[in-house]
Amino acid sequence: MKHVDVAVIGAGFAGIGMGIRLRRRGIRSFLIFERADSLGGTWRDNTYPGVACDVPSHLYSYSFRPNAGWSAFYSPGDEIREYLVASANDEGLGEHLRLGTDVLGLTWDESAAHWLLETSRGKHTAGAVILACGRLTEPRIPDVPGIGNFAGDLFHSSRWDHGLDLRDKSVVVVGSGASAVQIVPRVAAQASRLIVLQRSAPYVIPRAGRPYSAAERGLLARDAEELARLRSQLFWKAEEAFAQRAGNPDSLAMARSLALGHLADQVRDPHTRHRLTPSYEIGCKRVLISSDYYPTFNQDNVMLEPSALAAVEGNTLVAANGARHSADVVVLATGFHAAEQPYARIIRGIDGRLLSEHWAGGMTAHASTVMNGFPNLFVINGPNAGLGHNSAIYMIETQIEYILAALRHWANLDGGVLNVRAQAEGDYIRMIDDMASSTVWMTGGCETWYRDARNGRLSLLWPGFAHEFRALNAEFLPEDFELLPCARPRIRAR
């Protein structure tokens, strides 16, 4: 049974970024466990037609590994994955990666004061564990009668069947969220008939991105300061959008006007426009970016059904409004189990308490990173660490800084492991709830995956500016923690 100072679970943006920063700090005793056979996380799993990022490329990348060569303002998915693979290779992470290794159980051993990892390829122990599992990993499949017995081809958008020819097929896309707005135009160009089942209409704004010219890429490659300035400009421009989420009336009115004007300009039929008009405040759900989603509904082979899926009977999909549609292929663009993370059911902390029990009333963590009762355990991109207006990578890097500071503090202790105080976690939760109370996510009149359905709390998003998150959470404060006994030597850089 191999022991490492640090175990990282997941090899997407968070796990690769964490690994890079560990190596740059001189820490070599760590492993990155990834259940898939390759790295990339979201950008490995999602390969559907049209997959791309809706955050500017130069902002949706590591600040410590800027890439002057992005092909476009918004990067396609395969280019993002290539960036992650290159980052891992260039930074020497190969010896630390354990691909095709599923972590089946994670248990705190109080007598040894370390974590026991049971994996599909044997057991390991670790002084500290970093959960970099992501939130968009477990597909949400509608729980409706008959779905498992559909007579045709049915798959989730993150499990795209590239061997399937959609020509001359009748296709139903279930969902109208971020994946659907990218998928629908591509499917419509192939299928003989396309029906989109829309539970609630999204707000969609124009996608203004464009390819970067060779001259632009060359300039950024030659001038590191210009590349840094571009990233900074993009960041602060994105920060401006938080005024909408905070419920500022003027900002809301401007954003709403942009989205509804976009809809009016792009959809000819007034009846269809009405069905595509959201019934809640803009920003309550994720605001989508597309310039080709709405025009799809002008096509003769495309139909919008403004209803959720209720049942499947053979090759017929039954909508909640009673409509029935036969299909050869069903694409489930139905999102992921984001608010209830499956990994929480396999993690046992002090006294054997499951993380899923700790999170039974919704995900919580002090500094969005540490949980009382789970010593030397850190989570990236977990409770209240997401954003609805800016780059997730900025948030991930903030948490990485927090974790590195915590590991440094742990390394300098004479003994003990770090367990965040219950009071600190509770105070942080109350602060989050207070900050969130007036935001559009709580007042906008929609059902959103940003909130936990069990209690209505805003459990996934940070309800403030991204730079405020960094100002509050980039610094590790030892007084927020109690020390538990530990005889094992501290983590050491080599």
Same domain, 463 and 398: yes
Per-residue model confidence (pLDDT) at position 136:
82
Domain of 53, CATH number, reads: 3.50.50.60
Which whole number is the average pLDDT over 468-493? 82
Please say which residue of 317, 332, 347 terminates a domain: 332
Q: 93-103 pLDDT, tens per residue?
A: 999 999 999 99
pLDDT at residue 480 is higher than 90 = yes
Q: In which band, very low, low, confident or very high, does the pLDDT at 487 lie, cut at 50, 70 and 90?
A: low
Cα dihedral sign, 123-42-307-245:
positive
Same domain, 344 and 327: no
Q: Is residue 424, in this structure, part of any structural domain at all?
A: yes
The span from the CA of 338 to the CA of 336, in Å, is: 5
pLDDT at residue 488 is higher than 80 = no
Q: 136-183 pLDDT, tens per residue?
A: 888 999 999 999 999 999 999 999 999 999 999 999 999 999 999 999
Please say which residue of 332, 347, 366 terminates a domain: 332
Same domain, 304 and 367: no
Q: 176-221 pLDDT, tens per residue?
A: 999 999 999 999 999 999 999 999 999 999 998 899 999 999 999 9
Q: Report residue 276 as tokens.
A: 């595509």
Same domain, 157 and 266: yes
Per-residue model confidence (pLDDT) at position 494:
43
- The domain total for the chain is 2
Which whole number is the average pLDDT over 437-456? 91
Per-residue model confidence (pLDDT) at position 329:
98
Same domain, 291 and 424: no
Q: 312-371 pLDDT, tens per residue?
A: 999 999 999 999 999 999 999 999 887 788 899 999 999 999 999 999 989 999 999 999
Q: 228-237 pLDDT, tens per residue?
A: 999 999 999 9
Q: Is residue 274, in this structure, part of any structural domain at all?
A: yes
Q: Report residue 181 as tokens.
A: 């707005």
Q: Is residue 228, in this structure, part of any structural domain at all?
A: no
Which residue is associated with the tokens 């997407």? 12
Q: Is residue 493, in this structure, part of any structural domain at all?
A: no
Q: Is residue 240, in this structure, part of any structural domain at all?
A: no
pLDDT at residue 241 is higher than 90 = no
Same domain, 260 and 188: yes
Task: Please state the φ and ψ torsions of residue 312, each to the nearest 5 degrees.
Answer: -125, 130
Per-residue model confidence (pLDDT) at position 208:
87
Same domain, 451 and 398: yes
What's the mean pLDDT when you consider all of the chain? Answer: 95
Q: Is residue 230, in this structure, part of any structural domain at all?
A: no
**pLDDT over 90, % of the chain:** 88
Q: Is residue 489, in this structure, part of any structural domain at all?
A: no
The span from the CA of 297 to the CA of 39, in Å, is: 36
Q: 23-76 pLDDT, tens per residue?
A: 999 999 999 999 999 999 999 999 999 999 999 999 999 999 999 999 999 999
Q: In which band, very low, low, confident or very high, does the pLDDT at 278 lie, cut at 50, 70 and 90?
A: very high
Q: Is residue 223, in this structure, part of any structural domain at all?
A: no
Q: What is the span of the domain harbouring residue 257?
A: 147-202+247-332
CA distance between the termini of the chain? 22
Per-residue model confidence (pLDDT) at position 493:
46
Same domain, 42 and 98: yes
Please say which residue of 332, 362, 385 terminates a domain: 332
Same domain, 177 and 295: yes
Which residue is associated with the tokens 């977990």? 382
Per-residue model confidence (pLDDT) at position 453:
85
pLDDT at residue 485 is higher than 70 = yes
